[in-house]
């Protein structure tokens, strides 16, 4: 276990690897050594202190994977503000909810992302900003919010620029920052992530230095990441996958962070080739997009060795292709959730392929995991399905201003109940079999979508598949499969049903098949099954009306 706060960790690595590359942006030829990155993070921390940001205050960051984002992560880690990560897909109602619920005093944002103007959305929520003096915002709707900082050089009414903050650093001494850093404790909350909303309203997950520094370190060790590695990070920073398993994991071992600002399969492949990346992170849909890129065979990916595939169910065929076609023979599968900082279990680089495709690995060091009978604390025998629970340093402090939800998630003995169904074998390896809320009950039979999804992946025309349950007046629920076909393929519902006949139980064969081009997703790559269910109801209603 590492004894450092986030700020201390970077200080240690700047001394251990002063000239080693810490952060590289291949597309803008930006390169910072650990000593340079540490100096810039300290400067941003001093600027925030001059702005008046106190230890324990909440600072929101709304941006894609920019250099300013990763600097802010370590700057707030040094001066003790809590980094509140904002989903890049948020729009006005969601942003207002987060800023109000989190009591954020400061927001750092990019001007725009894709086709959305972030600054205009903020003006819509806080119209007072246009006429206020920078740093002195008085908002009726967001009474805590005082400071707005816009990345880049362009100036906007009522806001500071990023450069303004760096310039302010001159008024705060290095000694003042060191004194502030000396007051921080590992047990204090330093990061707040809002749950992705795959099952409803987002909650603010409070994570401490100890939570995320040590989870990052153990994740790095599980994939054998060292100071010789270069990790390509195309997953969003606002999610634990990006800022804990990505940037922070690199910092714990002195590896080089190679972020991709916004996911694009071509850019990822180009970055891996250009920067000779040895590791790559991604959710399954990202790896699918990379493998199916028209120019895939033109890229030299021979340096790839390890990385992590996580975030949603990892199809067996995709894992095999990443091993064989991309050459990442030591890539690992990780499983967890934001509330567990985030990784609970992970496969190891030397696990046989079948374990790395059929399980999500075993508990990380210093982590307890058990399977219980759903709705109880009673542990079930190995090989029996139940709810996966975890306990240890990785469990969140709780949900911000939501003690009831915290008590629902963490029991009196400190076990976090994940809501995920799993089976653990004799060696401690876990297989995720579904979510308690995803389970379909059809005519009294329990059906787990994961099982049907894995079967349908074996169809040669299927690129991706998601299975949901929808209400039915006869059976209670019926099964519906949403399928994305491989490029150039066509298929019908009857063809899919015929494929299932005799291979899976009759009651598991989806009654409805719908073909689609994409799934509703969170920006972190998680498929929002509750939205798929809503869409499914509309489709079925249309069929009944025909």
**153-188: pLDDT as tens digits:** 889 999 999 999 999 999 999 999 999 999 999 999
Q: What is the pLDDT of residue 196?
A: 57
Whether residue 289 lies inside any domain: the answer is: no
Which residue, 442, 397, 436, is CA-closest to 416?
Answer: 397
pTM (2 d.p.): 0.86
- Whether the per-residue pLDDT at 197 is higher than 60: the answer is no
68 domain residue, yes or no: yes
Secondary structure element (H or E) that encloses residue 176, with its range: helix 174-182
Residue 241 scores a pLDDT above 50 = yes
Give dist(CA 235, CA 281) in Å, integer: 7
Q: Which residue blocks in 437-512 are alpha helix, DSSP H?
A: 449-456, 493-500
CA distance between the termini of the chain: 62
Out of 172, 194, 216, a domain closes at 194
Q: Which of 459, 222, 467, 199 is nearest to 339 (CA)?
A: 199
Q: Residue 422 to residues 315, 368, 464, 497: CA-CA distances in angstroms?
A: 16, 15, 22, 27
CB 101 within 8 A of CB 95: no
pLDDT for position 272 = 98
Q: Which pLDDT score, from 0 to 100, does residue 158 have?
A: 98
Residue 371: inside a domain: no
Flag whether 264 is in a domain: no
pLDDT at position 148 is: 98
Give yes or no for residue 369 having a pLDDT over 70.
yes
Among 145, 173, 194, identify where a domain stops: 194
Query: Cα(2)–Cα(297) distance, rounded to whole angstroms?
Result: 41
pLDDT of residue 521: 85
Structure confidence by residue, pLDDT tens digits, 514-538: 999 999 987 667 788 888 989 988 8
Does residue 184 belong to any structural domain of this protein?
A: yes
pLDDT computed for residue 193 by the predictor: 95
CATH number at residue 155: 3.40.50.12780
Averaged pLDDT, 490-512: 91
- From CA 134, how far away is CA 161, in angstroms rounded? 10
pLDDT at 189 over 90: yes
Q: What is the pLDDT of residue 201?
A: 65
Q: How confident is the model at residue 361 (pLDDT cuts 50, 70, 90)?
A: very high
Distance CA 231, CA 323 (A): 17
**19-77 residue pLDDT tens:** 999 999 999 999 999 999 999 999 999 999 999 999 999 999 999 999 999 999 999 99
The pLDDT of residue 178 is 98
* Sign, CA torsion 181/183/185/189: negative
More confident residue, 440 or 196: 440
Strands 440-442 and 445-447: antiparallel
Burial 379-398 (b: 16+ CB within 10 A, else e): ebeeeebbbbbbbbbbbbbb
Q: Which residue range is the domain that position 466 belongs to?
A: 440-545
Q: For residue 160, what are the β-bridge partners? A: 149
For residue 327, how many other CB atoms are within 10 A of its CB?
Answer: 15
Per-residue model confidence (pLDDT) at position 529: 85
Measured between alpha carbons, how far is 339 from 346 in angstroms, rounded to an integer? 16
Least confident of 157-171, 301-315, 452-466: 301-315
Q: Do the domain assignments include residue 294?
A: no
Residue 521's CB is within 10 A of a number of other CB atoms, namely 18
- Residue 198 has a pLDDT of 47
pLDDT digits (tens, 9 = 90+) for 267-285: 999 999 999 999 999 988 8
Question: Does the residue 414 lie in any domain?
Answer: no
Instruction: Flag whether 211 is in a domain.
Output: no
Domain boundary among 160, 194, 228: 194
Q: In the predicted model, is pLDDT for residue 127 greater than 50? A: yes
Cα 139 off chain centre by: 31
pLDDT at 523: 66
Q: What mean pLDDT, rounded, does the chain reach?
A: 94
Q: Please name every residue paired with 447 in a beta bridge, in sequence order, or none if there are none.
A: 440
Alpha-carbon span 304 to 273, nearest angstrom: 9
Q: How many domains does the chain have?
A: 2
CATH number at residue 495: 3.30.300.30
Query: What is the predicted pLDDT for the residue at 93?
Result: 82
């Amino acid at each position: 276990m590492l004894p450092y706060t986030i700020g201390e960790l970077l200080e240690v690595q700047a001394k251990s690897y002063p000239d080693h590359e810490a952060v590289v942006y291949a597309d803008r030829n930006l390169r910072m050594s650990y000593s340079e990155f540490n100096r810039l993070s300290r400067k941003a921390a001093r600027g925030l202190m001059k702005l008046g940001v106190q230890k324990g205050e909440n600072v929101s960051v709304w941006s894609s994977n920019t250099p300013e984002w990763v600097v802010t992560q370590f700057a707030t880690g040094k001066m003790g503000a809590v980094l509140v990560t904002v989903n890049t897909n948020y729009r006005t109602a969601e942003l207002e909810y987060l800023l109000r619920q989190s009591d954020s005093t400061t927001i750092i944002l990019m001007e725009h992302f894709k086709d959305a103007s972030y600054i205009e959305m903020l003006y819509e929520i806080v119209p007072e900003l246009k006429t206020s003096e920078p740093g002195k915002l008085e908002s009726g709707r967001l009474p805590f919010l005082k400071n707005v900082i816009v990345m880049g050089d362009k100036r906007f009414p009522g806001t500071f620029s990023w450069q303004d903050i760096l310039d302010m650093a001159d008024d705060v001494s290095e000694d003042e920052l060191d004194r502030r850093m000396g007051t921080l404790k590992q047990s204090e909350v330093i990061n707040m992530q809002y749950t992705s909303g795959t099952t409803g309203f987002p909650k603010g997950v409070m994570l401490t230095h100890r939570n995320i520094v040590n989870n990052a370190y153990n994740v790095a060790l599980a994939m054998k990441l060292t100071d010789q590695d270069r990790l390509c990070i195309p997953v969003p920073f606002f999610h634990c996958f990006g800022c804990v398993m990505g940037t922070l994991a690199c910092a714990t071992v002195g590896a080089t962070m190679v972020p991709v600002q916004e996911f694009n399969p071509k850019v990822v492949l180009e970055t891996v080739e250009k920067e000779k990346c040895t590791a790559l992170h991604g959710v399954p849909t990202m790896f699918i997009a990379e493998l199916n890129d028209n120019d895939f065979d033109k890229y030299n990916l021979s340096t790839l060795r390890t990385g992590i595939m996580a975030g949603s169910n990892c199809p067996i065929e995709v894992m095999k292709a990443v091993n064989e076609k991309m050459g990442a023979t030591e890539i690992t599968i990780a499983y967890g959730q934001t509330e567990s900082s985030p990784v609970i279990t992970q496969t190891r680089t030397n696990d046989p392929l079948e374990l790395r495709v059929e399980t999500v690995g075993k508990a990380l060091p210093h982590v307890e995991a058990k399977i219980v009978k759903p709705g109880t604390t009673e542990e079930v025998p190995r090989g029996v399905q139940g709810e996966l629970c975890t306990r240890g340093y990785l469990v969140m402090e709780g949900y911000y201003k939501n003690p009831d939800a915290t008590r629902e998630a963490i029991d009196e003995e400190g076990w976090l109940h994940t809501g995920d169904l799993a089976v653990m074998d004799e060696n401690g390896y876990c297989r995720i079999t579904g979510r308690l809320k995803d389970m379909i009950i059809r005519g009294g039979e329990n059906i787990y979508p994961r099982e049907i999804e894995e079967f349908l992946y074996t169809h040669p025309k299927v690129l991706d598949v998601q299975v949901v349950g929808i209400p039915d007046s006869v059976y209670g629920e019926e099964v519906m499969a949403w399928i994305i076909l491989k490029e150039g393929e066509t298929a019908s519902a009857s063809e899919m049903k015929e494929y299932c006949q005799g291979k899976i139980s009759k009651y598991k064969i989806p009654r409805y098949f719908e073909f689609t081009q994409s799934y509703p997703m969170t920006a972190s790559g998680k498929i929002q099954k509750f939205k798929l269910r809503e869409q499914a109801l509309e489709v079925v209603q249309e069929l009944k009306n025909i």
